[in-house]
Amino acid sequence: MRLGLIADTHGVVRAGVHELFRGVDLILHAGDVGGAEVLDELELLAPVTAVYGNVDAGPLRQRLPQVAEVEIDGFAMVVTHGDQLASRRPEALKEAFPKADVIVFGHTHRPLIRDLPDFTVVVNPGAAGAARFGLEPSVAIMETEPGIPPRVRIVPVR
């Protein structure tokens, strides 16, 4: 499967996301969505599994879980914004979600891919919304197939 990983859109779906996510089978959104219209727009591209982040309020927070768990190609995946955890270090995320093979999180706006010693992959796709903190907007593309470790890359969004 080909997955689009996205976080921290804060109400904005950049045009480049449409191009980068063309042909993905599923989109995982790690919170701070910014409005239901963001999910509606992403769902035009592929089915979306999303969680709420610390700035998501009202109906969106009622619609979305804080943590989502999905199984894809035999891999247990956890999606969380991560703000509810004292630390967003990859090792701390693994401690919080010990059964996960893949953990997708957001909140920091800083892209990260970390392979842990137990073969868990921890990914922060960065922030895909308006540029903040001097960081370039980004998403991630992950490819999975049974029995082969997931392959993931961070992609800048123009």
Q: Is the pTM for the entire model greater than 0.85?
A: yes
Q: Look at residue 80 in the predicted model and tell me its pLDDT.
A: 98
Spans of all domains in the chain: 2-156
Would you say 48 and 39 are in contact if contact means Cβ atoms under 8 Å apart? Answer: yes
* pLDDT of res. 38: 98
Q: Are 105 and 84 in contact (CB under 8 A)?
A: no
Q: What kind of fold does domain 2-156 have according to CATH? A: Purple Acid Phosphatase; chain A, domain 2 (3.60.21)
Rounded CA gap, 30 and 76, in Å?
A: 16
Residue 136: which pLDDT band, with cuts at 50, 70 and 90? very high
Average pLDDT, the chain: 96
Q: Is the pLDDT of residue 123 over 90?
A: yes
Q: What is the pLDDT of residues 41-72, one digit of tens each?
A: 999 999 999 999 999 999 999 999 999 999 99
pLDDT tens by residue, 60-108? 999 999 999 999 999 999 999 999 998 889 999 999 999 999 999 999 9
Beta strands (DSSP E) in the chain are 2-6, 26-29, 48-50, 67-72, 75-80, 102-104, 112-115, 121-124, 138-145, 148-156
CB atoms within 10 A of CB 38: 25
User: What is the 8-class DSSP label of residue 118?
Assistant: T
